[in-house]
Amino acid sequence: MSVVTASAPATELPTTAFLARHLRENIWFYLVLIVGGVLMVAPFVWMVSTALKPAADQFTRDLIPRQVTFENFGRAWELMEFQHLVWNSFRIATLSTIGQVVTCSMGAFVFAIVRFRGRDLLFVLLLATLMVPYQMTVIPQFIIFRTFGLYGTDVPLYLPSFLGGAFGVFLLRQYFRTIPIELLEAARLDGASLFRIYWSIYLPLAKPALAALAIFAFMSSWNDLFSALIYLPSDLEKTTLPVGLALFQRLYRAQWALMMAAVIISIAPIIVAFFFAQKQFIQGFAATGIK
C-alpha cells in the first residue's frame, strides 16, 4: 500500500526567501527608521559620553571617552543638594499622577458608560479646553491660590491634578469603550453599583491605559519649570529639580561634563519609570487608537 503525502502549495515561499523578498520591498522604509532612530539617540549618547569624561577632556570629540570617570555625578549631587530637589520633584509628581489617574478615570467612566442628557455636549466642551493655552489661566489660578494662602507652597503644583484633565479623560474614555458592554450588563444584573463596576471591572481591565496616562502625568509634573518658578521660593530645599537645573546651568555654564551629569541625574527616574511600564504604555495607546 502506497502512502500519498500532501505537498506544499507551489506559491508558498521558504522562510528565508520570504524574509529576503520582504526586506527588498521595504528597504527604504527600514532605512528611514534607522536614520530617524540614530538621529534621536545621538544626543543622548553624546550626553552620556560627555558626563563620563574628565573635565580636561570635556571638549574633545571622542564619542568613547579616553578615560571613563563617574566623579562628575558625585560632584553634581553634592554641589546642588540634589537629594532635596529630587525628593521634592518626586513627591509632587507622584501626587499629581495619583490625582490625574483617579479623577480622569472617574470622568472617563462616566462619559463612556453612563447615559444622561447633554453627555456628548459636555464631552465636546471638555475637549475644547485642550485648545486653551495654559498661559491664559495662570493669572486666575494665581489669584485663587494666593487668596487661599497657598502661595509659596507646593500645593498649587499638584492640587489642579485632582480636578481632572481633558487629555486623560479622552484617553481613558477611548479605552473604556473597547471593553465589552456585556460585562457591564452582567454586573448590573447581579446588583452591582456603578462604583463597584468602575472599581472592580473597568479599572483592572484598563491597566495599560492607566499606565500610559500615569507616565504622561508623571513626566509633565516632573519637567514643570513654569509653575515651580511662580509658586515656589528659590530655596533649593523647597523648590523642584527643573529650577535647580536652571540654576545649576547658570552657575556652572562652562563645565559641560558636570552639566551633563546633572541632566542624567534629573532624567534617570523618567527612564526607569518608562522601562518598567513600556509594555503597558504601548498597549494603552494601541488599544485607544491614538497615534
pLDDT of residue 125: 94
pLDDT of residue 281: 63
Span 25-45, pLDDT tens digits:
788 888 888 999 889 888 889
Most confident of 21-35, 118-132, 230-244: 118-132
Helices (H) and strands (E) in the chain, counts: 15, 0
Span 125-155, pLDDT tens digits:
999 998 988 888 899 999 999 999 999 899 9
Least confident of 151-155, 212-216, 286-290: 286-290
Q: Name the residue among 252, 61, 289, 282 with its Cα closest to residue 173.
A: 289
Judge whether 245 and 226 are in contact, CB under 8 Å. Answer: no
pLDDT of residue 270: 82
Q: Which of the four pLDDT bands, split at 50, 70 and 90, describes residue 288?
A: low
Look at the block and give the residue holding cell 472592580.
Answer: 200
Q: What is the pTM of this model?
A: 0.81
Q: What are phi and psi of 224, to 5 degrees?
A: -75, 105
Interatomic CA distance for residues 242 and 265, integer angstroms: 11
